Structures are given as C-alpha cells and as structure tokens.
Amino acid sequence: MRKILIFLVVLAVFLVFRVQYNNDPKKIISRLNKQGGFGQGELVYRINLLGFIPVGDAVFYAPKEEMLAGRKVYHLTASAKSLKVVSLFLSGSADLDSYIDKESLNPVFFRQKISVRGKNDLVREAYYDQAQSVMTLAGVKRQILPDTQDHLSAIFNLRRMDFEKVKGYDLNINTNQKNYSLKGSAQPGQIMLKGKVYKTVLLEARISRRDKNPYHKSMMSMLLLKDEGNLPIMIKVFASGALINVRLIETR
C-alpha cells in the first residue's frame, strides 16, 4: 500500500511538471534561443494529448510561390505523424496541402491525406471557386461563404494580420461540407526573459457551425510572437471533451 501511494505521488508530481512545462511560453522561447533563435523555414511542433501526453509531431513548411492553373499561388504544406513511443497503440500520419491565390489570399485547392495503420487512406480534395462562392468536393458542388478558408490558409492569414489594428476576427472555414466560423479576439501582451522583452499576441477563438448547430463547437487559443512574424509558439484546442496542447519545439 505504501509503495502504491509513493508511486501515485511521484506520478502526480511528474504530471504537474509536464503540464506546467508544456504550458510555459518562457520555456518554449528559452529552448528555441538555445537552438539558435527563431527561423521562418520549417516549424516543428510537439502534439500533447490532455496537455501532457506526447503523441505526435507536426511540421509546417515555409510557403512556396508556384503556378497553378495559370495563376500565381502560395503553396502551403504541413504534415503530422505519431511518435514511435505510441506507434504500438496508434500509428498514423496526415499530409495537408493548400494552394492559395497570391492576391486574394483565399484557397484555390486543398488536399488532405490521412493514413492510419490497418485502414485505407482517407483522401479529401476540395476545389474552391471563390468568385461563385462554390466548393467542389468529390464531384459535388457546395455553397460556401465569401473568402472561405481551409485549415492552413486560415493560419496563414491570421499570421499576416496587424493586431495593433485588428482586435477581432471572424473567418469562414470549409474543407468538408458545412460552413464553420473561426471567431475570436486578439490580446497584446509581453514576456520578459533574461532582460529581453518579447511582444506577444494571444488569439482566443471559438469554432462553430454557421448554421448555429449547438453540437459542433470547439475552443482554440494561439500565442504568437509578434516580432517574429506572428510566429505561433503554443496552440491549445479543446474539442469533444479533450484538450490538445501543441508547442513549438524547433525551427529549421
């Protein structure tokens, strides 16, 4: 009984430490400084379930300028995969590509591939006709709202906002069937670390269906480093009763 009690106490201390570590922006900034600073190429994030259980890594790649169907676009790419330590229980990966018009910054084409061991790959491709407010998915046309975004283009556009002027935002998002709203506020702040001031912006948002469906809601917060191009260093998502913490661990 005593050994069990000691084990539970040690476990509780460990969990508290992990939660505090994963939610401390100073530790994130300190780690990146030790690695050489803040790059704007590949951004590597650690995904933590419930705020303390590491389950995967995600990589956001630098935007590339390309041509798509005769128009200039930014090609955004991201990928995620489960860590080896959890691969015995769950092995999966995801690849996302977004092509956004260079002038309007609205998506033209979005592709998502999800792979889970033992199952067929799930591939979703969405074509956007922003002028006609139409999205085509699996050959079916669906009505969308003006300036509809996908997951990657939404983050891209948030990073380009001037939050000294913008205090609130409301983005339309659709990559599947229903139109969603990403609506929230921006709160400026700062972090003092070893005598240096880091300006921050805390974005807090609610994600919900435009048709007011009460069963499809989630909350999100994102902490940005303002002077590093609104660099996201920590993201929290609360959906379906579970908390997911995503923190920046490396820039390349």
Per-residue pLDDT of 196-240, as tens digits, reads 999 999 999 999 999 888 878 899 999 999 999 999 999 999 987
Backbone phi, psi, residue 3, to 5°? -65, -40
Is the per-residue pLDDT at 77 higher than 70?
A: yes
Task: Retrieve residue 159's tokens.
Answer: 């990073």
| pLDDT at 114 (0 to 100) | 96
Q: Which residue has the higher pLDDT, 7 or 251?
A: 251
| pLDDT at 16 (0 to 100) | 46
Task: Retrieve residue 19's tokens.
Answer: 């939660």
pTM of the model: 0.90
pLDDT digits (tens, 9 = 90+) for 85-101: 887 777 899 999 999 99
Contact 243/51 with Cβ under 8 angstroms? Answer: yes
